[in-house]
Amino acid sequence: MAPDSEFANASFGKPDFDVVVVGSGFAGLYLLHKLRELGFSARALEAAGDVGGTWYWNRYPGARCDIMSIDYSYSFDPDLETEWQWSEKYATQPEILRYLQHVAAKHDLRRDIAFETRVESATWDKDSSRWLIRTNRGAEITCRYYVMAAGCLSKPKEPEIEGCDCFRGEVYYTSRWPHRGVDFTAKRVAVIGTGSSGIQSIPLIAAQAKQLTVFQRTPNFSIPAHNGPIPTHRLAEYERDRAGYRERARWSRFGVPIELAEIGAMQVSEEERRARYEAVWEAGELVGIGLAFNDIILNPKSNETLCEFIGGKIRAIVTNPETAEALCPTDHYVATKRACLDTNYYETFNLDHVRLVDLRKTPLARITETGIDTTSESFEFDAIVYATGFDAMTGPIVAVNITGRNGVTLRNKWADGPLSYLGLMTTGFPNFFAVTGPGSPSVLSNMTVSIEQHVDWICNCLKDLRDENLEVIEPTATAEAGWVQHVNDCANITLFPTANSWYMGANVPGKPRVFLPYIGGTDAYRTACNEVVARGYLGFVRSGSGQRRVNDGVIRRLQPDVQMLLEAMSALNLPPLEEMSPEAARAFSSELSAVRPPGPEVGEIVDGVLPGAGGDLDYRLYRPATAGPHRVVVYFHGGGWVLGSHDSDDPFCRDLCVRSNAVFVSVNYRHAPEHCFPAAAEDAFAAVRWIADHLETLGGVPGPLVVCGWSAGGNLAAVVCQMARAADGPAICGQVLVTPVTDCDFLRPSYNENGADYVLTKSLMNWFWDHYADPANRTDPKASPLRANDLSGLPRALVVTAEFDPLRDEGAAYAEAMAAAGVEVKHLPCRGQIHTSLTAVDMILSGAGARAEISAAIRQFFHQVEDLVMRDN
Ligand code: FAD
Ligand code: NAP
């Protein structure tokens, strides 16, 4: 966090400008306009010769937007929306550039922009609380606030190919295309790169050139744009209520107001899946890919079905089977690299004068004076076009030598990947903002929506500072670390980190592999940014005029999928279970269980009956698909001793059975209030004894068991271990207690912190205890195992707790108490999880890591037994 002294003594001299802005693309232009509107003095510095940013530089043939024009445009000026008519569904680069020039002219923005002026360094001067900006023109400008609107894709990547400089023919970069245009007529042309720029330009270059050779290292997924007039239904929707349309875009997942799918790809028949994919193909809309089903970027199996579908289309279009195969992506899931929209891309490879060179088979060796050598062939060309991409997101920012507090450079701070709060600011660099910086939705959204949101946020923040007589703002280290964690948590439940994409920095040699943008959605992101402000600029230190306001904290602490689930549940307004009768609560829980994902396939499921302490008990046995016999785990379901059955925990048992490669026997037990304490505990113990005696009949390996349970089932597993110790058997080699009930009092802090908002509430726990045990019985160790006088000699244990669970602290206390008694214990605290997270298989994807650890622990418990047996022999 920022040291006190700096702010206390700061002398706030008058800088040249309130704000210096870098860039004059979509972001820089809107910033200038908005800052002016709010009465700030501002200057934009722009390396290019005019406004436009991306659309100034990328003038290659075929350059267009890939978000529909009506969406890919400003919304801040309602007049602009009526006076500007887009001519096509996807406007060309010249049309978008004309649009931005029109905006600059309409709002008289050029007078505050210095063109052909590249910012080279920016240094924070703590004594005057100003930024010193130096440019290639030698000028030094001072400002209070420094905003980089330098673009995410504005720094071309070096082609890093040997011999680049020695080619004597014409050389072009799609990202720096000559303004005069290029005529390829009668020329032999090479294009290197098959990302969006290559895919858009290749058909048009082919239409002119005598010969075109495309050098492809990695094939990309592309769907046809079906460009033409703006689809009438969309235009009508937009024109009917422009303001409403824009508002829906602002609160949508990707900044485009289209309906999200509500179903996963594997939940429908093959015919329906295909029909939906055909519709995506026909619609020609990039965001449609991810929205065909709600799990395309989450579930590998679902994604593979779309990969296969697109592969089928490519094979149907491209007549040469070898070329078709080379064009089919096989190394990444669709959408994990930016997918492309094309016009006749695959068809172009059917032309006689167009050839694809697959660099995977014959890598590019070098550029020569006359052409290109691969490892197997020499090619001669008149022109080489590099469509080799960008040093994305961080590249343009760290290209400027930015020095913050204490002489620390941003380049050094970000050496292992960018650290930011909300993608807007970074600790140690006061008053420095980035528009659509790393850690914000940016390139995973319709950029115009994200740009407007960032500009509005930054400008309102500056206005708030001014209104409150403050001048300096900087995020705290805690807030930044929390946000970086959240950004990673969001990415890690998706397939994105599996691809070698520029989103991961993988396209630039030596760049750290970190997922750069925020995949949580523009809607969720906007909510977080608004909430930060509503909570008094949570996570920021703001200071000036002798004041210093510290508001430390983390804006998102729940795992993203847990947060979404809680929001969805809150929207359903479900009745509290504790207001129902036990029968009604059981029926309601069963209804909820019926609509969740089923969990993975196992080798075999056998339902049976075993003798309990007070009559027969149902059980369900899960056998792995691998060759047996297997070790056996006895499992007890959750439900506060009142609810649940082997059905309720079925997906969890399947998942653990597959992951741990052990037989799981999920045992039912008598429920309260019909059968109160100690019925459940006695049933659980009777079941363990019976199973231990019948291991071979059940197809298990003779020897010790592992017991496992979740919640009240965790309580029973713990109790059974104590009962087995007292009875001298059966042999148990490990206990896995998942968010267990271990004590009957509600005094630990987790009950207060988490007792109201995270599904398992304090009042529900009260209801469970009231049904299960009289107050006098609750302190019995068979109800509250933490209360046992002696915990020594218990089996090895894994205790899993969830951060946002009322039971967190009693779980942790039991782990600690067992460890203190000499039991080998591992405590696995699950950050950002709630009581019900880990059993929500395929719903709470962030719980999968903990389930993997649980399974590893189970395998480990059994291995230790096997090691002992081997040693004894
Ligand atoms: P830019 O438009 O990149 O402008 C940044 C400006 O900053 C540039 O003019 C640059 O010269 C200047 N600059 C950078 N560093 C310095 C410096 N040190 N000193 C001075 N000036 C500097 N996004 C979509 O959402 N939909 C699309 O369809 C889409 N199509 C795209 C097509 C192409 C070919 C490319 C490359 C990107 C596309 N994008 C698209 C992303 C696109 O970059 C953004 O949509 C948007 O144009 C970014 O605007 P910006 O103002 O933030 O940055
Ligand atoms: P890109 O997606 O990064 O593609 C670069 C291509 O060059 C890749 O095929 C890459 O192969 C290849 N390449 C890079 N270095 C190479 C080397 N040394 N040898 C051989 N091949 C090499 O870049 P882009 O096409 O310019 O697109 C970047 C982003 O800009 C897009 O993802 C999109 O967000 C935006 N964009 C949008 C549009 C649009 O349709 N509106 C158009 C253009 C750009 P590897 O994949 O193997 O690295």
The CA distance from 41 to 469, in Å, is 17
169-to-178, 198, 383, 651 alpha-carbon distances in Å: 15, 19, 5, 63
Is 161 touching ligand 2 by the criterion CB < 6 Å? yes
DSSP summary character for residue 499: S
In this predicted structure, what is the pLDDT of residue 871? 65
Residue ID of nearest Cα to ligand 2 atom 48 = 507
Query: Is residue 193 in contact with ligand 2, taking CB distance under 6 Å?
Result: yes
The answer, yes or no, to whether any atom of ligand 2 lies below 6 A from the CB of 194, is yes
Pocket test for ligand 2, best of 96, 196, 337 (most atoms within 8 A of CB): 196
Predicted confidence at residue 852, as pLDDT, reads 98
Rounded to the nearest whole angstrom, what is the distance from the C-alpha of residue 18 to the centroid of ligand 2?
A: 37
Mutate to test the pocket of ligand 1, among 148, 157, 447, 448 (most ligand atoms within 8 A of CB): 447
SS (H, E, C) 522-534: HHHHHHHHHHHHH
Predicted confidence at residue 760, as pLDDT, reads: 97
Q: pLDDT value at position 2?
A: 37
**Ligand 1 centroid from CA 120, angstroms:** 18
- Give the residue whose CA is nearest to atom 43 of ligand 2: 197
* Ligand 1 mutation target, pool 110, 154, 453, most atoms within 8 A of CB: 154
Query: Is any atom of ligand 2 closer than 6 Å to the C-beta of 195?
Result: yes
CB 709 within 8 A of CB 638: yes
From the list 86, 87, 100, 96, the residue with the least C-alpha distance to 64 is: 96
Distance CA 390, CA 505 (A): 10
Q: Which long-range contacts (CB under 8 A, 24 or more apart) does 686-689 make?
A: 686/611, 686/612, 686/613, 686/617, 687/610, 687/612, 687/617, 687/619, 687/634, 688/634, 688/720, 688/724, 688/730, 688/732, 689/729, 689/730
Q: For 687-697, write each residue's pLDDT tens digit.
A: 999 999 999 99
Atom of ligand 2 nearest to the CA of 159: 18
CA 520, 523, 529, 535 torsion-angle sign: negative
The pLDDT score that the predictor gives to residue 457 is 98
Give residue 139's pLDDT: 80
pLDDT tens per residue across span 280-329: 999 999 888 877 899 999 999 999 999 999 999 999 999 999 999 999 99
Q: Which stretches of the chain drop beneath a pLDDT of 70?
A: 1-13, 868-873
Residue 91 near ligand 1, beta carbon < 6 Å: no
Kindly state the tokens that stand for 452: 């407007």
pLDDT at 1: 34
